[in-house]
Amino acid sequence: MLCKQKFSTITMADFNPFFEDEVGGIEDSIVAAVEEEKPRPTSKSEDSPKTVGPKEELSYDSIAVKLLKDNLWLSALELHTELTENGRQLPRLRDYFSNPGNFEKQSTDARGGSPQVGNLYRTSSETTFDSLDLARYSDDGNNQVDERLTVLEFELRKARETIKSLRANLTEAAESDIPSPVHSNTDMEGAVAEEATKPLERRAVNFLVNEYLMNNSYKLTSITFADENEDQDFDDWDDVGLNTPHPPDLLHLYRDFSRHVIVKPETKDVGCGEDTIDEEDEEEEQPEAVEADLNMSIEQQRQHYEAEMENLERQVFQLRGEKAELGMVVEKMEREIQSLRAPKQSTPMVSPITSPMKDPALHPDHRGERREPIGQEMTQDTPPSSTSSNQVEALRDIQPEEDGREEEGDEVDGVDDIDGVVNGDVRGGEGQEEFREVEGQTEEKMVDGYLTRRKNVSEAFQRALLGTIVHPVETTETRLLEEVSHIASSGQEVVEMLARCLPHIIPNVLLAKREELVPLILCTASSHPEARERDQLLNLLFNLIKKPDEDQRQIILSGCVAFAKHVGPTKAESELLPQCWEQITHKYPERRLLVAESCGALSPYLPKEICSSLVLSMLQQMLEDRAEEIRGSAVKSLGLVFSLIDDTDKYNQGLDLLLKALGDSSDSVVNATQQVFLSAFAGWAQDLDRLETNLISTVLKRLEVTAIDLQRPKPDLLQGERLIEHYAHTLQCLVPALYANILKTGPFKEQMQNGVEEDNEEVEIEVTRFPKPLCALHNLTVIMGDKRRLLKLMKAFDAFTIQEGETESWPSYNWLTNDYIPRLLEVVGRLDASHTNCVRALTKLFVHICKTFGPAFTDTKVTPKFQAVLNVPKEQYHTLVRSGQSAIAKATLPVFLCGVLGSHYREDDRHQISHYLQEAIVILGQCQAPQDSIHLAFNDLHANPTYHELLLAALWSCVVHTSSSVRIVTARLFELLAKGINESLVSSRVVPALITLSGDSDVSVRVATIPAFGTILENTNQKETLDRVYTQFQTFLDDTNYTQEHALMVQVIHTLGKIGPNSEPKFRDEFILPRLAAMAYTNSHSTNDANRAEVAMALFEAYSAISCCFLSVDLIRDAMLPGLRCLRKDMETVLPEHEGVVSSMIKDFESKIQGKERSSSFNNMAHNIQGHVAHLGEDARKKMASKIGAQKTKMGNVFSRKKP
């Protein structure tokens, strides 16, 4: 048959199955063969195989049988693919290609050498590493193609296309549920409002919104939007839907909205009820017709609008060109007017014409247009040394031919002028004046960027002439050539030029001077119209200096603030904050510090919503930084941010951050928190009425818990004391805010109005009225904002406190007096006076409270509460004091005396201090209770010289007390007053009292005075006082009444050992060391081992302290060594563990003596040897002189003639 013949003529070698054109050719040949063989067939079934007869239609199954029989597998596969895509799949082809055994069999037959099967080679464009036929390029020469792999690869490619088509069908199915607006009879807006958003629509709209935010530099908003839609990938449109077409952006959709609005037909609202119309048929036919008409009208309108838009764009382009030309004409005319007004110079300055352009073909006004290089041919073939002369000669030859109409004189003048310019000669004359004029005149002669030439001078000649001077510079960058070849003619062009040049300038500027570029960068960034360029410039600003120091950071911060003020909050948010975010994890702490400071500095110029969200989260992250200076800066910025926040939901978060910062391990961070963050947050808490009930109460509660923990057995004393100091200082920083809040909420507005001063005189507040503020934020004048208002409120508050007015309507005042002060007093009562630092921290807190709220408040609200605690009935003295429950033995006494009574320096307070001191001395002495509280009070009061007389008077009143225990306490307190006071007071008040007490009948009283005498010896230089003390010590050691007292001797030894290194050398050498040696000798013969051991230990400590002093050899031999040998004897008997140390001390002193003796003997021997050598040298000198004289005599006789 003809069909079989045509199939047999088609071989696989005649086409490439991977090209669609060739595959189509095979299909065309098959169709042509069928058409030639038979007329138009009738419709038959295609599902079962049919034999081709003269009157039967050729079915696809028959074609498939033919293709498979002739081994045309690729054509059969192509047929199978197309039929499958059209929904008419043949079972025969499907079963054949789904059976891998068919391909293995055919591959074997093909490798057997069947001549009917051609080799199938893949095209180079489809050859990949995965599908590369390695056998084709192998060394064995086997070039057979593995048909199985080829067919499978082709099938894989078609399968992928099938998957793609299935995805498209799925997308269409998803979109098919959306009803067309054409078929809707309801209002479009109502339908959109009622219809729920489908997932595909939501994802598409989300993608377009994110794309709009990214294109318009809303980076931070885009990041937040992406975080809220984590289930969608905004980088891939295919994630929206399967093969869903990408619509235009939101801006185009908005502009194109009117085209997609379906106008309601005018006849819809008009009708007649009498006509009978088949509504059902009309409703069925109308939608298709309306949709077709609308599609046609929409397409026509779109074409019309596009054509109109193109026409308008051309008009805009032409108008812009005309505007630029007119601008150039206006500038040219203005320069011409200026040149005409300027006075003419007889000999204008002539400078060489130079140009930094590397490629002169670039037009100055049109940098994109290339032109012929000026003088390029001449500079390439001619040596530089002969260029000028050759060009001049060429010009001499060419000039008469080009301009024959010129006169001879003109020709000579023109050539002379050119000679002068080429050779660089500067001469005056009219020719040079015409060649070099002012700027306006020069530009007037410019045509297409070149000087106007004579009519007969060609453009090429003019270029060659100009090229002798303006020639390419090979070492200059093209970018710079383009910049200098175009002078900016407007401010906008200057800004754009700076934006292009600054990135190239900055790297070449010294690091120490780069801050000079900050104004340029900021002005350029604030004026540039493109967001991308502004972003790059601001990035340059933040990366300008590698490690900016304090001054450089302040310059950058000031610039950022100025930029934020200029551009407004929206641009500041979108352009400055991203730069801060990029630097937040920089490896250099200086850069992170710049970010922390920038967040605070920019917060007043950002939207409040951004401050309470993004900026707050950035600072919260930087609060975790490992560098303490960054945490400190972040804390300060947090204070500024919370002073701007209005969102009350952020209060608890701010309180947590505040407490966390207060607990930082760095003291600098804690100080910054207390001075800045705490003050700012207190202001916000005051606005929310949470200052007393929340903020201060939270800190006070932590103070109470810590004080309770210190009372437990085996507490962590170091950590507990540190926390109490910390919380007490935090409450101290809150006192100004508390006082300001009470003043603002006080019920004395009428008193202020009645007491308004009419004069405008400046009101000054007493310097000592308030305690010295730690920083400006603690200054009450700054907090209140008006000094006059503060003074009026202070006076009204004092008057109200004295009168004790009604306070029911004043909750903050009631909280202060009934809750705050009592709770603090309870904390003080829990602490032992031995916690010195804690007691002093609480004392400072009460000083600030009393001085801030004034004397009236202290007298009426604070002092009575302390007095109620301290005033104990006499019958309960012993019970309460000895049990440790009395406030006198606790921290309450020093806090009351120094923090409350000592805060205002009034005479009445001084009397109360003296009274409570005397009472405490008596009570503690009689009860024999711990004396830490009274000692601490004396120490703190002693620091103020105004209390010295008061303290001495209180002690003198107890010197003659009937109780010996009271006198012992008094003697020990004199030791505290013996240093740091005037020597006249020591001589007139302290020494007489001590001498009186040293003669007391009670040995314990006498022993208690010895340390005070030692302190006087250490701190006094007055000879009379020292002599009286020396006499007293001699009395202690010589009087038999004292020497028999073991406790007294031990105390004397301790005191002498303590004062030995600091006393006068004469007193140490002549009194202390001999006395110690005598007591060591006496102790070595003692029979009481207990007393002997105690004295030996005291001597051991004394000798250990004095051994560090400089001692002479005689003193060591006569005083130190005898005493140490006696002490070693005692140690061997009673304290053997210290015997080795004493023996080592003895050896050291003995070696010192021996070394000095050897040094002395060596010096004597050296002196003797030196004298002997000097004697021998004198003898040798005399003998040598005599020999020289003899030789001179003999030499003189040599030249004398012997007489005959």
What is 655-718 written as a DSSP string?
Answer: HHHHHHHHT-S-HHHHHHIIIIIHHHHHHHHHHTT-IIIIIIHHHHHHHHHHHHHHTSSS--HH
Question: Which of 334-343, 392-401, 483-492, 941-950 comes out lowest in average pLDDT?
Answer: 392-401
Integer Cα distance of 119 and 107 in angstroms: 11
pLDDT at 21 over 50: no
Question: Which of 131-135, 786-790, 959-963 comes out lowest in average pLDDT?
Answer: 131-135
CB 528 within 8 A of CB 494: no
Q: How confident is the model at residue 289 (pLDDT cuts 50, 70, 90)?
A: low
Q: Which residue has the tokens 């080009």?
A: 402
CB 217 within 8 A of CB 244: no
Q: How confident is the model at residue 860 (pLDDT cuts 50, 70, 90)?
A: very high
Integer Cα distance of 295 and 195 in angstroms: 24
Output the six-digit token pair for 496.
């754009």
Mean pLDDT to the nearest integer, 1132-1145: 89
Mean pLDDT to the nearest integer, 199-217: 87
Domain boundaries, the chain: 2-122+140-171, 199-255, 545-688, 1048-1164
- Strand, coil or helix: 450: strand
pLDDT at 1197 over 50: no
Sign of CA dihedral 913, 919, 920, 925: positive
In terms of Cα–Cα distance, which of 619, 603, 500, 530 is closest to 560? 603
pLDDT at 28 over 80: no
pLDDT at 243 over 50: yes
Question: Which of 138-142, 915-919, 1090-1094 comes out lowest in average pLDDT?
Answer: 138-142
Output the six-digit token pair for 887.
């406030």
Q: Is 379 exposed, middle or buried (0-12, 13-18, 19+ CB in 10 A)?
A: middle
CB 661 within 8 A of CB 635: yes
Q: How confident is the model at residue 359 (pLDDT cuts 50, 70, 90)?
A: very low
Furthest CA-CA distance within the chain = 195
The pLDDT value recorded for residue 1183 is 52
1156 vs 296, residue with greater confidence: 296
Helix axes 550-567, 531-542, angle to 10 degrees: 160
Percent over 90 (pLDDT), the chain: 29
Give me the amino acid identity at 904: H
Q: Report the number of secondary-structure helices (H) and strands (E) in the chain.
A: 60, 2
Q: How confident is the model at residue 1201 (pLDDT cuts 50, 70, 90)?
A: very low
CB 263 within 8 A of CB 298: no
The pLDDT value recorded for residue 937 is 93
- Strand, coil or helix: 510: coil
pLDDT at 418 over 80: no
Sign of CA dihedral 29, 33, 39, 40: negative
The pLDDT value recorded for residue 1182 is 57
pLDDT at 836 over 60: yes
Q: How confident is the model at residue 4 (pLDDT cuts 50, 70, 90)?
A: very low
Q: Which residue has the tokens 């000649």?
A: 461
The pLDDT value recorded for residue 276 is 43
Integer Cα distance of 986 and 967 in angstroms: 19
pLDDT at 120 over 70: no
Integer Cα distance of 429 and 645 in angstroms: 76
768 vs 566, residue with greater confidence: 566
CB 1058 within 8 A of CB 1101: no
CB 949 within 8 A of CB 909: no
453 vs 511, residue with greater confidence: 511
Residue 894 CB neighbours (<10 A): 28
402 vs 311, residue with greater confidence: 311
pLDDT at 189 over 70: no
CB 2 within 8 A of CB 9: no
Q: What angle do CA 745, 748, 753 make, to 5 degrees?
A: 120
Integer Cα distance of 1176 and 111 in angstroms: 126
Mean pLDDT to the nearest integer, 1046-1070: 89
The pLDDT value recorded for residue 894 is 94
H/E segment holding residue 447: strand 446-447
Q: What's the per-residue H, E or C state across 705-734?
A: HHHHHHCCCCCCHHHHHHHHHHHHHHHHHH
Give me the amino acid identity at 859: D
Q: What is the pTM of this model?
A: 0.60
The pLDDT value recorded for residue 929 is 82
H/E segment holding residue 451: strand 450-451
Output the six-digit token pair for 319.
């108008």
The pLDDT value recorded for residue 823 is 95
Integer Cα distance of 202 and 193 in angstroms: 14
CB 581 within 8 A of CB 222: no
The pLDDT value recorded for residue 217 is 86
Integer Cα distance of 166 and 1197 in angstroms: 142
142 vs 520, residue with greater confidence: 520
pLDDT at 1126 over 60: yes
Question: Which of 986-995, 1011-1020, 1034-1043, 1070-1079 comes out lowest in average pLDDT?
Answer: 1034-1043
The pLDDT value recorded for residue 293 is 65
H/E segment holding residue 446: strand 446-447
In the 8-state DSSP scheme, what is residue 382? S
Output the six-digit token pair for 158.
């078609």
In terms of Cα–Cα distance, which of 962, 1123, 971 is closest to 1056? 1123
Mean pLDDT to the nearest integer, 32-55: 41
Output the six-digit token pair for 351.
């400078």
Residue 226 CB neighbours (<10 A): 17
Strand-pair partners of 450: 447
Integer Cα distance of 827 and 723 in angstroms: 13
CB 76 within 8 A of CB 68: yes
Mean pLDDT to the nearest integer, 941-947: 91
Strand-pair partners of 451: 446
60 vs 419, residue with greater confidence: 60
The pLDDT value recorded for residue 883 is 66
Mean pLDDT to the nearest integer, 746-751: 71
Q: Which residue has the tokens 């935010």?
A: 213
Integer Cα distance of 151 and 54 in angstroms: 35
Q: How confident is the model at residue 371 (pLDDT cuts 50, 70, 90)?
A: very low
Percent over 70 (pLDDT), the chain: 68
What integer best gives the mean pLDDT of the chain? 75
CATH of region 545-688, choose from 1.10.10.10, 1.25.10.10, 2.60.40.1730, 3.40.120.10: 1.25.10.10
The pLDDT value recorded for residue 168 is 64
Residue 60 CB neighbours (<10 A): 19
1069-1080, pLDDT tens digit by residue? 889 999 999 999
Q: What are phi and psi of 370, to 5 degrees?
A: -90, 140
Helix axes 73-85, 147-175, angle to 10 degrees: 10
Mean pLDDT to the nearest integer, 234-251: 78
Radius of gyration over every alpha carbon of the chain, rounded to an integer in angstroms: 55
Mean pLDDT to the nearest integer, 900-919: 91
Q: How confident is the model at residue 1020 (pLDDT cuts 50, 70, 90)?
A: confident
Integer Cα distance of 418 and 398 in angstroms: 13
The pLDDT value recorded for residue 504 is 84
386 vs 518, residue with greater confidence: 518
Output the six-digit token pair for 928.
């024999």
Integer Cα distance of 518 and 520 in angstroms: 5
- Strand, coil or helix: 192: helix
Integer Cα distance of 889 and 373 in angstroms: 103
1046 vs 421, residue with greater confidence: 1046
Strand-pair partners of 832: 890
Question: Which of 349-353, 565-569, 591-595, 954-958 comes out lowest in average pLDDT?
Answer: 349-353
In the 8-state DSSP scheme, what is residue 138? S
pLDDT at 896 over 50: yes
Beta-carbon-side half-sphere exposure of residue 205 (alpha carbons within 13 Å): 7
pLDDT at 546 over 50: yes
pLDDT at 395 over 80: no
609-622, pLDDT tens digit by residue? 999 899 999 999 99
Encode burial over 950-965: b for 16+ CB neighbours within 10 A, e otherwise. bbbebbbebbebeebb
In terms of Cα–Cα distance, which of 612, 567, 617, 613 is closest to 595? 617
Question: Which of 177-181, 697-701, 819-823 comes out lowest in average pLDDT?
Answer: 177-181
- Strand, coil or helix: 619: helix
Question: Which of 235-244, 681-690, 808-817, 1160-1169 comes out lowest in average pLDDT?
Answer: 1160-1169
